[in-house]
Structure 1
Amino acid sequence: MWAQDREFIVHTIAFYNLENLFDTEDDPLTFDETSPIMELADHHIEIYNKKVNNMAKVIAEIGFETSHNAPVILGISEIENKHVIEAMINDSLLLNYNYGYIHFNSPDRRGIDVALIYQKSLFTPVATKSYPLYLKDDLTGSRIYTRDQLVVSGILDQEQIYIIVNHWPSRRGGETKSNAKRMAAATLNKHITDSLFTSNPYAKIISMGDFNDDPTDASIKTVLKTENKKNKVGLKGFYNPMEQLYKDGFGTTAYRDKWSLFDQIIVSQAWLDSNYTSYRFYKAGIYNAQFLITKTGPYKGYPFRSFGYEGFTGGYSDHFPVYIYVIKEKD
């Protein structure tokens, strides 16, 4: 593929914000009744089934053109519970991939969680842990409940890798006012990666998610200390391939005619070696196929989201998925 005399195994690893993939049951422990699907007047089951199928359609196609497979590993956010994950991976479009999943209930008030799905034939989880993010309200001192950070270590074709799935606090209330929350999330993420590096400085770590910050923001650049160039990444360092995409004008979500690249996949230095006898990072991308783009109206060109002011649109998500390819030379 990349040289005439060399053949590679190619896998897609991706992340997708599923935009309020909630079921139609009221959970008395959360405020899920404020979710878009629960606020609809009728046709809840039909719309839920269509939403699930739409998500499955996108996932089945991420990276398929190059890897000829759906993502081997996919981080997801804005899901309500394990039931919506099960419905999605059992959709006819994904069933043959035999996905498993890892999910913990987060303390988020609306019940929004993150999770990881994986092809059981290609990835074997070894250990999982959910790290809570402790935030306090400046005025009341009470805890602000938000999404945990999910850490999964596992074996990809005999190699140990580590995946962290994130959905950092939103910019609700304004970017500046909410910035401290994302800086705290970045600090937690840094603590997790530092712990992994303590055990193995050459750990193959992938931190992915909806960071609600761009690749050039302080949470990413100052706290996580990501680099834009591979040759600048030192031992225990991180390369953010999404930064150049952002600087080139690409984004995954739009608001008021401004594009942001909140959805990112960041890789540790061990993925960057040029020895392809084990899996290495090849390239990153944004999956923004034409069917995922709004065709008309004031939001023309934006991601074709599922829910708008008038209810269900028939669309997909207000975020585009992001992905990386990891490759290994065939024996």
Structure 2
Amino acid sequence: MRFTPSAAIIGCSLLFSFHGAFAQKKDYQINAIAFYNLENLFDTVDDPEKIDEEFTPTGSYHYTPAIYAQKLHNMATVLSQIATEKVPDGPALIGVAEIENAKVLQDLIAQPELKDRKLRYVHFESPDVRGIDVGMLYNPRYFKVLQAESLPIDITENGRKEYTRDILYVAGLLNGDTLHVMVGHWPSRRGGEAASKWKREKAASVCKTKADKIRAVNPDARIVVMGDLNDDPISPSVAVTLGATDRETAIKKNSFFNPWIAYYKKGIGTLGYNDSWNLFDQIMLSPAFLKDDTGGWNFYKAEIFNKSFLRSQFGQYKGYPHRSFSGSTWINGYSDHFPTYIYLIRQINKES
């Protein structure tokens, strides 16, 4: 298999082909999609419409312009390295969570580590009480935005309305092929996993409803659902409400494919809590990504970006993500989550 990140073929030749005959050489384009929870990427300005006072110079985190500048540098360092072993320009799309506003995305893509990629972003303000949103970065060399909207999640209970992050929906062209992308940061487990699970099921149902509408028009639509789900691959919101499952079942039942199930069953995760791993950061795909006969982009592999510099090197949290703060003390880390990413491939030539 020979990969090309956009047009010119690069010299990566393997003795197998994607869902094809052994040792048959074929030429492929390759690209990547990633997700990263940026762990409280706030600016330093007190927004009277948000509960962001703790992330200001006089707040409990003593969040100074110097810390903000370093936080941006650290986040850009991570984003600049994801998937570059196969795609030198990095992912075409990067979903992000825990961002305060559009300004932090502007500042992020202007960092020296990312500036040359000329990334753009999609963002809407969400009603989340803390003022954190989701967004999507994209490389305009590979992806063209056609449509974007914010999908609200109604988690009203007994007449009391709670506010959480909306789902970001973006439709666009990845090297000419239509993709439908949903980026989410589903409601937290505050109050307990069991007591709060219905809220995440509501978030999953928003994604499922949108996907069903898209596939009613085009059954072979390529749909991506990604985000910090605050649930694992086997949780009811993911496995039942959204219906994300293994490859064979996804094809058979025409449901979503979740490549992270295998990781989770091996005890591999993206964040650590109470001496155990969770895998909240997931990227799931409609079955069109698994079928050769639909043309366009197909799923190749999934990875967790957990390089050694992203892991705590000592103490009780050794091996866990090296986060930005310990309590309210800045420790010059990155995030309390590892990023996840997937590779997509698209055949160029039938024979070589």
Q: Which of the five TM-score ranges fits, normalised by the shorter chain?
A: over 0.9
Match of 1:46 among 51, 66, 79: 66
Identical aligned pairs, as a percentage?
Answer: 42
1:209 aligns with 2:227: yes
For residues 249 and 191 of structure 2, what CA distance do their matches in structure 1 show?
38
Match of 1:130 among 150, 164, 178: 150
Change (3 A) 1:48 1:198: same
Match of 2:331 among 313, 316, 324: 313
1:161 aligns with 2:173: no
Q: CA deviation at 1:6?
A: 2.0
Q: Write the letter of the residue equivalent to 2:36.
A: Y
Q: Write the letter of the residue equivalent to 2:148.
A: T
Residue in 2 aligned with 1:97? 117
SS in 1 for 2:338: coil
1:78 aligns with 2:67: no
Matched-pair contact (CA < 8 Å) for 1:60–1:71: no
For residues 18 and 207 of structure 1, what CA distance do their matches in structure 2 show?
18
For residues 188 and 236 of structure 1, what CA distance do their matches in structure 2 show?
18
SS in 2 for 1:143: coil
Change (3 A) 1:43 1:268: closer
For residues 128 and 328 of structure 2, what CA distance do their matches in structure 1 show?
26
Q: CA deviation at 1:42?
A: 4.5
Matched-pair contact (CA < 8 Å) for 2:270–2:338: yes
Q: CA deviation at 1:285?
A: 1.1
Change (3 A) 1:279 1:195: same
Change (3 A) 1:248 1:30: same
Deviations 1:22-44 (A, max 9, x none): 00000000101134876356460
Residue in 1 aligned with 2:41? 21
Structure 1, 264-273 or 301-310: larger mean CA deviation: 301-310
Q: Write the letter of the residue equivalent to 2:105.
A: I
Q: CA deviation at 1:275?
A: 5.1
Q: CA deviation at 1:278?
A: 2.1
1:280 aligns with 2:281: no
For residues 16 and 326 of structure 1, what CA distance do their matches in structure 2 show?
18
Q: Write the letter of the residue equivalent to 1:321.
A: P
Q: Write the letter of the residue equivalent to 1:148.
A: D
Q: CA deviation at 1:68?
A: 2.1
Deviations 1:213-247 (A, max 9, x none): 00001111111111213464246421000111111
1:11 aligns with 2:43: no
Q: Trace 1:100-115 onto structure 2 (pairs within 5 A).
A: 100-115=120-135
Change (3 A) 1:204 1:232: closer
TM-score (norm 1): 0.95
Change (3 A) 1:245 1:43: closer
1:244 aligns with 2:262: yes
Matched-pair contact (CA < 8 Å) for 1:23–1:37: no
Residue in 1 aligned with 2:75? 55
1:178 aligns with 2:196: yes
For residues 41 and 316 of structure 2, what CA distance do their matches in structure 1 show?
24
Matched-pair contact (CA < 8 Å) for 1:234–1:269: no
1:118 aligns with 2:138: yes
Q: CA RMSD in A?
A: 1.7
Match of 1:304 among 313, 322, 336: 322
Matched-pair contact (CA < 8 Å) for 2:226–2:283: yes
For residues 43 and 149 of structure 1, what CA distance do their matches in structure 2 show?
28
Change (3 A) 1:94 1:194: same
1:144 aligns with 2:162: yes
Change (3 A) 1:38 1:205: farther
